[in-house]
Amino acid sequence: MAGLIKKQILKHLSKFAKNLSADSINISTLRGEGELNNLELDCVALQNLMNLPTWLQFNHAKCNRVHVKIPFTKLKTAPITILLDSVELDMSTCEKPRAPNGASPIQASASSGDSSYGFVQKVLEGIAVRINSISVNFTSAVFKAEFQISQLLLFSTDPEGKQTDLRFTRILNKEWGQVLTFKKVTWQTMRIVTDA
């Protein structure tokens, strides 16, 4: 069972990470938890995902620890929780514009399947993310900058901004075939340093 789950994780996560193997994934299927350590992210996939302008690029991206908790018995009402301990990003401007962004890894996988809004889409859009610290180092020919943020939380809310059962965090407009979801982002501290 754990082997099958690891294969599915590798299938989806390998779009965003480098040098990933089944041995690097620790998983407990009974507790619904998994963990990865020293994850090096694919800079091109991140650029495509974030649709960065062609004058900006990621040079290096890594995360020291990723912990995932899946409440298998409450997937309709409780979110999958992803905890990222420390994320480090190095970015720079390009002297000459780089090649245009390709398709986002998420869009590419979504366009290949059924476009209906079903159980899987509801579970994925309800994911809650917590990042203990993010550090972004930015360099250009003119200046350097460092951006740090701690205790970033992203979670689903009801229309009034309150954390609640996932069934109440979306509004479905059947006439237009659209879903409106509600998210909230909070952080504890932010620090920006620039040096010309």
CA 13, distance to chain mean position in Å, is: 10
Q: What is the DSSP letter of 195?
A: E
pTM reported for the whole predicted model = 0.81
Tokens of 33: 């938890």
| pLDDT given for residue 115 in this prediction | 58
User: Per residue in 111-156, pLDDT tens?
Assistant: 555 556 778 888 888 889 999 999 999 999 899 999 999 999 999 9
Helix (H) or strand (E) segment spanning residue 123: helix 119-125
Rounded Cα distance, 109 and 115, in Å: 11
Is the pLDDT reported for residue 177 higher than 80? no
Domain ranges for the chain = 2-195
Query: Among 99, 90, 103, 94, which residue's Cα sits nearest to residue 41?
Result: 90
Mean pLDDT confidence for 173-185 = 87
Residue 65 near residue 85 (C-beta atoms within 8 A) = yes
Place 75 in a pLDDT band, splitting at 50, 70 and 90: confident
Rounded Cα distance, 125 and 181, in Å: 8
Token look-up 């789950």 returns 5
Task: Please state whether beta strands 56-69 and 183-186 pair in parallel, antiparallel, or not at all (unpaired).
Answer: unpaired
Rounded Cα distance, 80 and 67, in Å: 11
* Residue 125 burial (CB count, 10 A): 16
Is the pLDDT reported for residue 83 higher than 70? yes
Residue 145 near residue 195 (C-beta atoms within 8 A) = yes
Mean pLDDT confidence for 9-34 = 82
